[in-house]
């Protein structure tokens, strides 16, 4: 399993022992993670530094370009995963950040949009994902939307 992440370093450290490889994309990656043998660290700004990202779409003005590049570079038989807050989740995230002060206010202020399945699935298809190889569903009590876009193998079949 490969983790492609925009998650905080503490989460990555917690799940790293379970992963064969982790691809981390961020403007700055902790030095200890960069030195870890099964970590590929890609530093820079999006979409230029994007290899694959799982939780970045809601922070982008042009998510289509990032989705297209993510789908373009995935290996045959591989997959891209995307996790985004839903419109239902927006209220919970903002309550947590602005009222309870449990989440970083700056991160909430950086959100450009939210996605329900009916928003994300067509965007993935427009970006080039194949409908029969695209799975998009709600999770965490409807607070998030998750998508898995599989790439056809070299022979064009589903893996």
Please state the domain extents for the chain: 1-44, 55-159
Closest CA to 67 of 122, 9, 140: 122
**Which of the four pLDDT bands, split at 50, 70 and 90, describes residue 38?**
confident
Tokens of 25: 């994309």
Q: What is the pLDDT of residue 155?
A: 55
CATH hierarchy code of domain 55-159: 3.40.50.150
Tell if the pTM clears 0.75, that is, is over it: no
> What tokens were used for 28?
């700055």
Classify residue 75 by its DSSP letter.
P
pLDDT digits 0-9 by tens, 81-134: 888 999 999 999 899 889 998 877 877 888 899 999 999 999 999 999 999 999
HEC string of 10-24? HHHHHHHHHCCEEEE
């Amino acid at each position: 399993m490969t983790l492609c992440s925009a998650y905080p370093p503490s989460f990555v450290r917690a799940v790293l022992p379970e992963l064969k490889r982790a691809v981390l994309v961020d403007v700055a990656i902790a030095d200890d993670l960069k030195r870890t043998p099964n970590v590929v660290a890609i530093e820079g700004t999006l979409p230029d530094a994007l290899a694959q990202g799982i939780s970045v779409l809601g922070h982008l003005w042009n998510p289509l370009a990032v989705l297209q590049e993510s789908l373009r570079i995935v290996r045959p038989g591989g997959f891209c995963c995307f996790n985004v807050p839903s419109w239902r989740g927006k209220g919970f995230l903002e309550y947590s950040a602005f009222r309870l002060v449990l989440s970083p206010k700056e991160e909430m202020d950086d959100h450009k949009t939210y996605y329900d399945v009916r928003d994300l699935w067509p965007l993935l298809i427009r970006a080039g994902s194949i409908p029969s190889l695209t799975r998009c569903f709600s999770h965490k009590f409807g607070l998030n939307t998750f998508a898995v876009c599989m790439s056809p193998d070299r022979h064009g079949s589903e893996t």
